[in-house]
Amino acid sequence: MPLRGCRSRRRRRARGHLVTRVLVTGAAGFIGSRIVALLRGQGIDTLAVDAMIPEAHGRSPAIPDGVTRADVTAVDTMADLLDGVDVVCHQAAMVGMGVTAADAPLYARHNDLGTAAVLAAMHRRGCDRLVLASSMVVYGSGSLRTVDGEPVDQPPARDSAHTDAGDFEYRTRDGRLISWELTGEDAPLRPASLYAASKVAQEHYARAWSVATGGSVVALRYHNVYGPGMPRDTPYAGVASIFRSRLAAGQSPLVFEDGGQMRDFVHVDDVARANCVAIDADTRGFAAVNVCSGQPISIGEVADVLARRVGGPSPVVTGEVRPGDIRHIVADPARARELLGFTARIGPEQGLAEFATAPLRSSAC
C-alpha cells in the first residue's frame, strides 16, 4: 500500500522558518520506519536514528540501511545529531503493557529518560518543535457514563461474581450499567500499566519543556496501531499481532473476557501520515491529539476478521479477565480533524483483512 500524505519539501513552519530537515527517533521500528519512508518519499531530508534495543529488535539486530544507531538517552549524542534539524519526530520507546512489575526500569529508561534527553538536546541546539509518539493508554478506562447519562470519573473494580457469571461490563456500586463513550483529549490521564505511566511521563516532560522554552509539541495519542511489519513473537506485541501469530501456527486466537471490549484500530500508514501532518502543523505550545480510525470495533470482531480472512480456526472466547485490563477505550477523532486536518483513510474492516496476510517482523531474541 503506497504511503501518501505529506506536502512538498518546502513547507513553512508556524514561526516563518522552512522545515528542511527532520530527525526521527525509533526509526527502525514498526511505526518509525513507515514515517521515515513517507518523509523520504516526499523528498524531505530525514535523519533516521534508533537505539536498536533488544526488546524491539532482538539481541543481535541488523541495522537497516539509512538508519544511524544511537542511544537516545545520551544528551551529547543526540545534540550532535541535531545539527540543522528543524523538527524532531520522537518515536523511540519501549512499547506494550509489560510482563511483570520488574519491567518498570526498562520503561523508565527507554521512555522517560529517553524523552528527557531528547528534549535537553533540542534545547541545547535550539530546535524548538517536537512531534511526540504518545498513546491511548494514558486515559486508562477512558470516558464513561451510566446508562442514565451520569458521567463516571473512575469505574469501580469489577466484581468477580459478575465476571465469573459472564458479565464483564463496569457497574456502579448500586448496580447500574456503565457504558463507554468517545474519549477526547481533555479526559483525565489515569495510567493503569507501567507502559501507560511512562507515556504520561513523556507527555509531562514535553509539556514542561514547551512551557520552559516556548517550544511547540504535538503529542499524538495512538490508538491500537496495526499493519505490515508489525512485530510478532514478543511478549510486548499488540493483540492483532498475537492473533496473527496463533493463526499462523494453526491455532485459534484466544479472546479474553467475552470479546466485547471496544477499541479503535488504526492502520500504521494512517499513523505515519498523521505524523507528517503534525510535522507541518501551525501549532503553539503543547497539543495532545488522538490518532485513530474513528470506527470502533470489538476485540472479538478483530479476531473474527483475521480468522475468516485466512480460513483459520475460529477464535476461542476464554472468559478470562486479566488484571489491569481496560474494558473499553475508544477515541474521539474530532481534534485531529480540526487542529491538524487529519482523518484516517483506512477503515478497520479493510485494513484488518489486508493485515491478515501481510508480512510481520520477527523479533527473535
Q: Which of 266, 251, 244 is nearest to 359 (CA)?
A: 244
Each residue's pLDDT, cut to its tens digit, for the chain (365 residues) gives 444 455 443 444 434 446 789 999 999 999 999 999 999 999 999 999 999 876 666 666 778 889 999 999 999 999 999 999 999 999 999 887 656 788 899 899 999 999 999 999 999 999 999 999 999 999 999 999 999 999 998 899 998 999 999 999 999 999 999 999 999 999 999 998 899 999 999 999 999 999 999 999 999 999 999 999 998 866 556 899 999 999 999 999 999 999 999 999 999 999 999 999 999 998 999 999 999 999 999 999 999 999 999 999 999 999 999 877 899 999 999 999 999 999 999 999 999 999 999 998 875 43
Let me know if 11 is exposed, middle or buried by CB neighbors in 10 A (0-12, 13-18, 19+): middle
Grid coordinates 495519542 are at which residue? 221
Buried (b) or exposed (e) across 98-111, using 16+ Cβ within 10 A?
beeeebeebbbebb
pLDDT at position 228 is: 94
- Bridge partners for 316 per DSSP: 254
pLDDT at position 113 is: 97
98 phi/psi in degrees, rounded to 5? 90, 155
362 phi/psi in degrees, rounded to 5? -85, 140
Other Cβ atoms less than 10 A from the Cβ of 126: the count is 10
The ranges assigned to domains in the chain are 21-143+181-356
Element (H, E) at 55: helix 54-57
> Domain 21-143+181-356 sits in which CATH superfamily?
NAD(P)-binding Rossmann-like Domain (3.40.50.720)
Question: Is the model's pTM score more than 0.85?
Answer: yes
pLDDT at position 212 is: 98
SS3 percent helix, strand, coil of the chain, rounded to 5, is 35, 20, 45
3-class DSSP assignment, residue 325:
coil
